[in-house]
Amino acid sequence: MNLRNFYIKWQVWRGKALDIWSKSPYPANVLSNLCSNGFRFEGVLCGSMEGFLQSLKYQNIDKQRQICSMKGKNAKNMTSTHWQTDQIVWWKGIAINRQSQDFQDLIRRAYQAMFEQNERFRIALMSTRGMKLYHSQGEQNSFKTILTESEFCSTLTEIRESYDVLHNDTQQRKKRLYFDMDGVLVDFESGLAQQDEQTLKEYEGRYDEIPGLFGLMQPMPGAIEAVHKLNEHYDCYILSTAPWNNPSAWSDKVTWITKHLDDVFHKKMVITHCKNLCKGDILIDDRGKNGTSQFEGEWIEFGSERYPDWNAVLDYLIPIKNNV
């Protein structure tokens, strides 16, 4: 590993950077050109950005449209080096110098189109606010590749920052608010109350390992209503932990959210034993375990003397004039 790659990995570990790669965790994988982020660009349907980029190497318009529609590795496999000789690429029958500003403008317009049309890509990119973007596996020589690491990352960074500047005057970023589940949104005891004596005896001291337990639990008093109120003021996510030795608990938690709060938390759920790795402003949790006490933002200890119930949390997080 060279010194630059070591530095990038260190920055990624610190949460200061993101190294974009199709095999990396979210959001790096979604930002990869190989990801199937479909969009339409100047009348042409693109199955992925990789499809669009590879299509620029072909002069034949029909062939170009075909490659544009491709996704992932299928698109990448259409790569060609014949364009490198004279550095000419093509878009809709028009020849473009790969080293020209016209080429840069074309690339910028394509990424902008994908950003505006593809919600998954847009959310992934905006989740990297404050991070330096890298693509360490990318080629650096613009005469050998259709898009260098520098061109790729600078384009994404420009789009990201332009979006924030455009919306800064009319829409301030909502603070990111995380919700724990057990003992906060979900009444753990209500699940135990539905178990027979034999099961309770068998799992004594480790009730959270009872198969199917989490799917039986009821919402905490006032939790559902509180979440809907807070969702009007905050960017809300689930941040919970599931027992390592109870695989059903992981799926049960998703099922519970789908049943009770899918309108708020659809695909906005993180299950981890290291909550301190998640970036955010506020975490509502009843315990300081699994990284909660090291969370970078404010920890609201649900069930404590200061925040005994959801009414107390609402009084604190929402201005009195809005808490209606």
Measured CA to CA, the distance from residue 104 to residue 125 in angstroms comes to 20
Q: pLDDT tens, 126-175?
A: 999 999 999 999 999 999 999 999 999 999 999 999 987 766 544 567 89
Which residues are known catalytic residues? 180, 182
Tell me the sheet residues that pair with 219.
186
Q: pLDDT tens, 6-54?
A: 999 999 999 999 999 999 999 999 999 999 999 999 999 999 999 999 9
CATH class (in words) of the domain with range 176-317: alpha beta
> Shortest CA distance to 289 belongs to which of 176, 208, 220, 212?
208
The pLDDT, as a whole number, for residue 172 is 62
Q: pLDDT tens, 51-68?
A: 999 999 999 999 999 999
Residue given tokens 């909550």 in the structure block: 275
* 138 three-class SS: coil
Measured CA to CA, the distance from residue 248 to residue 252 in angstroms comes to 6
The pLDDT, as a whole number, for residue 153 is 97
Lowest mean pLDDT among 145-154, 235-244, 307-316: 235-244
* Domain topology for 3-168: Tetracycline Repressor; domain 2 (1.10.357)
All structural domains of the chain with their residue ranges:
3-168, 176-317
Band of residue 210 on the pLDDT scale cut at 50, 70, 90: confident
**pTM for the predicted model, two decimal places:** 0.54
Residue given tokens 């199709």 in the structure block: 22
Q: How many residues does the chain have?
A: 324
